[in-house]
Structure 1
């Protein structure tokens, strides 16, 4: 027997209510900051239109909202405290209440990164920062990526190769970890307190022995040139685009990627549970 509610709709047709998603935007509206704040608001409304934006100029109200609303992303503008150290201290309190991505608008990029490294380095996977002049497109892209990754654990195959990197800007050689590589770029993890800047140029040599490859021209090492494109907020992870690839380098990179793919497939197979049929 079908049962109807007061409006004549079947109770079996009632869909569960979709949980509302919120972005918390914290700022102090001053005349000199108004243009930047409006740009950020527009980027939020455009990039993640299914989110509801909550605005506060009182940080205490923001902390309360984290406890009662389903806030999934937090924006902390430099105008809120006018001090990056205080912004990081406040972000620590936010993380205690809700572990969600936090986007900072930096007053001083170096101060923000230094303070972040000391107090929030455990949360660097999705946190990020921006600084003046604000790029509408960049904020929109990063917001979309953060929204897509919420609640999802990224599965990445890490090479974890210790190699040497040569910084062309400073003629300095440092030891790093090659975390990943593709036909268009590679990622590294820094092992010390070196600071990279966007567009900085480097050279690395990939040890081919790790992939059971020997090349008649390059021998046991593949040289690659790169330019810094992405730097994590804690400064420890840097993504590079590969510059000036020759056809021979492309072919060798494809051989490396084939080897990496085979390893990934073998790991997946090894993790699959074995089903044993028991017969009586």
Structure 2
């Protein structure tokens, strides 16, 4: 007769359960491979480990970076989660800067800053230097070929004389620029054109209210004068200001001032042969 099964007292694990898969256990026969009470062993489930940092790209001064936060199972080492985190740009760390181009009275300067982290540079404009003038200070202006004297700080100047005494034509402007300040040209100095033997034509700007003694004295070739200003008075025109200019000279004045200017200029040395229109 058959012997019959001789069963073990305890279960035998036929397949171990893993983090994700179920296992199997059963009671075996001691004599053969027969099994009974086959039972499923539940999956164990993953065991989360600590967060690890991977694929880190460091931020720079101008560009952001990123890194991955990754969690693995401590049992089977399977990746359980991955989260990419973006980081912001660090921003430049500028030093105190260095003046690379000194400002002048005519030109702006440049200050250069360097990033202590990456070596990048940036620049900023340094304003032109302000002219530090006091009343009586003189300024040589190449663009108008003239020397000026400060009469009211940051407001008014006097036309002293031309730089080139051999000039044939001259213009006394209504205003000039000194540094960052605009000055009105309000007067013509004493003897301003006295030695300008070749001067034949001159234009007097509309801000002139005073003409000095002998300003145009003995300018024998001076034939053409244009006066734009309406601010002149007898007291403000110096002695012999127009004496001994060319007898055939023609003077153009504002229409509203023709009559009064003719009287004034004649009293200040202008020849009666000079025409005023």
TM-score under structure 1 length normalisation: 0.23
TM-score under structure 2 length normalisation: 0.23
Structure of higher RCO (CA pairs closer than 8 Å, 6+ residues apart): 1
The structure with the greater share of residues assigned to strand is: 2
The structure with the greater share of residues assigned to helix is: 1
